[in-house]
């Protein structure tokens, strides 16, 4: 059926707040994910039944099926679906079955809360069962086709990581991007991802009866590091860093990046240097894994020290993949950085987990390798 673009297409349906029968069971653990932030408008497409509820009044509406809508904010307490004015916040709800909605480019099921902010922008928050949320995380953080035991290890790590952020006193628990862990909805979920999540349902990592801060990253380059080295956080036994030979076949294991003298000069000037010329540079300090913590620049105004993580951030973490630099080679107009791995290097190395799974190690052995001293426990007992 062709989609119908709709302007005044809200149909009054009934009053009353949504009950458990309209969505997921009330006793099922849920998590709230900020999926869009600070946008002036959102494009929504309905596929099947989608209900709208004004949360403050309880008024409930049914959107037309297979229709397009534009939702926008305002400078008041209202937001608009087409020309229909609604009191903020509202909730979009898809009943169980084949009903879902698309917001901008992504498809979602369940409940989406839309909030009109004081600056007339919209925030969209998805409330979804915790275990189903993990389907969307694994799609983004590993993807279909990875070894099943690696996917299971990722499921436990991601479940543990997310559980630490559940906080009913906040508007939402986590964002859907690399600020926390990437979640892109449920559209591309595969059978192996479902199996990985379902077969580890409720399992989290604990140390001394507390949730482990189960960080993970793409590729460690041969050695993981501690959160103390990466961010100055408190170091616990499961996150002290381990030697890891299992990611050597990854395309991210070794890489090179060339930086021009002029670009490096702009960087240190941004960091506070008054230099006009860089004479040389070298590592000033490293952590126990071998990652550079600080760089020393010899300049026409003397020596200048800069944090390596700031340099990486400045030049982009996609191209400047890590602070694990094995060689810095001076060229005529700049420096060639030869590095290893991709990401902050703390916790589980995803490429290493793949390597271990290919060596027929099960997910618990993989987790014990990257988070030594940790144990698995049921999330319901830990969150009490």
Question: Ranked by mean pLDDT, which of 10-24, 114-128, 329-343 comes out on top?
Answer: 329-343
Return the pLDDT at 9. Answer: 38
Task: Give the bridge partners for 44, in sequence order.
Answer: 69, 103
Return the pLDDT at 28. Answer: 83
Rounded Cα–Cα distance for residues 292 and 242 (Å): 17
In this predicted model, which residue has the larger pLDDT, 75 or 275?
275
Q: Check pLDDT > 80 for residue 231.
A: no
pLDDT band at 22 (very low <50, low <70, confident <90, very high): very low
Mean pLDDT confidence for 145-169: 97
- For residues 341 and 247, the answer to whether their CB atoms sit within 8 Å is yes
What is the length of the chain? 384
- For residues 168 and 231, the answer to whether their CB atoms sit within 8 Å is no
Is the Cα dihedral 84, 86, 89, 94 positive or negative? negative
Q: Is 7 left (phi over 0), alpha (psi -120 to 50) or beta?
A: alpha
In this predicted model, which residue has the larger pLDDT, 16 or 356?
356
Residue 187 to residues 100, 102, 147, 342, Cα–Cα distance (Å): 10, 10, 21, 27
Rounded Cα–Cα distance for residues 103 and 125 (Å): 11
Give pTM, 2 decimals. Answer: 0.88
pLDDT band at 109 (very low <50, low <70, confident <90, very high): confident
Q: What is the mean pLDDT of the chain?
A: 90
Collapsing DSSP to helix, strand or coil, 347 comes out as coil
End-to-end alpha carbon distance in the chain: 48
Rounded Cα–Cα distance for residues 229 and 270 (Å): 23
Mean pLDDT confidence for 70-91: 89
Nearest to 354 by CA among 241, 230, 217: 217
Return the pLDDT at 25. Answer: 55
Return the pLDDT at 108. Answer: 87
- The domains of the chain are located at 4-129, 131-248+344-382, 254-340
Could you write out the DSSP letters of every residue in 93-112? E--SSS-EEEETTEEE-SEE
Q: Check pLDDT > 60 for residue 11.
A: no
Q: Check pLDDT > 90 for residue 107.
A: no
Return the pLDDT at 26. Answer: 58
Q: What is the pLDDT of residues 85-105, one digit of tens each?
A: 999 999 999 887 778 889 998
Rounded Cα–Cα distance for residues 378 and 46 (Å): 37
- For residues 163 and 213, the answer to whether their CB atoms sit within 8 Å is no
Return the pLDDT at 20. Answer: 37
Mean pLDDT confidence for 169-198: 93
Return the pLDDT at 110. Answer: 79
Q: What is the pLDDT of residues 290-347, one digit of tens each?
A: 999 999 999 999 999 999 999 999 999 999 999 999 999 999 999 999 999 999 999 9
Q: Check pLDDT > 70 for residue 8.
A: no
| 31 contact partners, CB below 8 Å, separation of at least 6 | 127, 128, 129, 130, 133, 162, 166, 173, 174
Let me know if 339 is exposed, middle or buried by CB neighbors in 10 A (0-12, 13-18, 19+): buried
Mean pLDDT confidence for 194-221: 96
Q: Check pLDDT > 70 for residue 207.
A: yes
Number of H helices, E strands in the chain: 9, 26
Q: Check pLDDT > 90 for residue 15.
A: no
Return the pLDDT at 57. Answer: 94
Q: What is the pLDDT of residues 25-59, one digit of tens each?
A: 557 899 999 999 989 899 999 999 999 999 999 99
The fraction of the chain above a pLDDT of 70, given in percent, is 93
Let me know if 194 is exposed, middle or buried by CB neighbors in 10 A (0-12, 13-18, 19+): middle
Q: Check pLDDT > 60 for residue 167.
A: yes
pLDDT band at 1 (very low <50, low <70, confident <90, very high): very low
Q: Check pLDDT > 80 for residue 64.
A: yes
């Amino acid at each position: 059926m062709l989609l119908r673009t709709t302007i005044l297409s809200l149909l009054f349906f009934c009053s009353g707040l949504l009950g458990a029968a309209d969505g997921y069971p009330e006793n099922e653990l849920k998590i709230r994910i900020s999926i869009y932030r600070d946008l002036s408008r959102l494009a929504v497409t309905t596929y099947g039944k989608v209900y709208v509820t004004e949360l403050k009044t309880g008024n409930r509406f049914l959107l037309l099926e297979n229709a397009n809508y534009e939702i926008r904010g305002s400078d008041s307490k209202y937001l608009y679906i087409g020309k229909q004015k609604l009191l903020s916040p509202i909730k979009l709800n898809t009943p169980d079955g084949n009903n879902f909605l698309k917001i901008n480019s992504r498809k979602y099921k369940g409940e989406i809360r839309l909030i009109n902010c004081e600056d007339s922008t919209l925030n969209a928050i998805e409330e979804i069962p915790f275990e189903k949320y993990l389907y969307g995380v694994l799609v983004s953080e590993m993807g279909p086709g990875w070894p099943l035991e690696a996917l299971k290890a990722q499921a436990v790590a991601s479940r543990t990581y997310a559980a630490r952020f559940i906080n009913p006193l906040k508007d939402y628990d986590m964002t859907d991007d690399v600020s926390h862990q990437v979640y892109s909805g449920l559209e591309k979920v595969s059978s192996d991802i479902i199996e990985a999540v379902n077969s580890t349902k409720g399992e989290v990592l604990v140390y001394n009866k507390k949730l482990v801060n189960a960080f993970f990253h793409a590729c460690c380059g041969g050695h993981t590091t501690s959160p103390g080295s990466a961010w100055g956080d408190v170091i616990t036994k499961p996150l002290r860093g381990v030697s890891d030979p299992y990611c050597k076949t990854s395309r991210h294991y070794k890489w090179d990046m060339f930086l021009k003298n002029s670009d490096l000069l702009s960087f240190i000037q941004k960091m506070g240097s008054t230099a006009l010329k860089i004479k040389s540079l070298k590592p000033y300090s490293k952590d126990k894994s071998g990652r550079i913590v600080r760089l020393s620049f010899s300049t026409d105004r003397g020596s200048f020290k800069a944090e390596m993580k700031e340099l990486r951030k400045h030049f982009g973490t996609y191209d400047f993949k890590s602070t694990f630099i094995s060689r810095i080679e001076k060229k005529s107009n700049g420096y060639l950085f030869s590095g290893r791995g991709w990401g902050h290097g703390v916790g589980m190395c995803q490429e290493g987990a793949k390597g271990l799974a290919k060596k027929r190690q099960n997910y618990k052995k993989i987790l014990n390798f990257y988070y030594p001293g940790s144990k698995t426990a049921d999330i319901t007992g830990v969150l009490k």
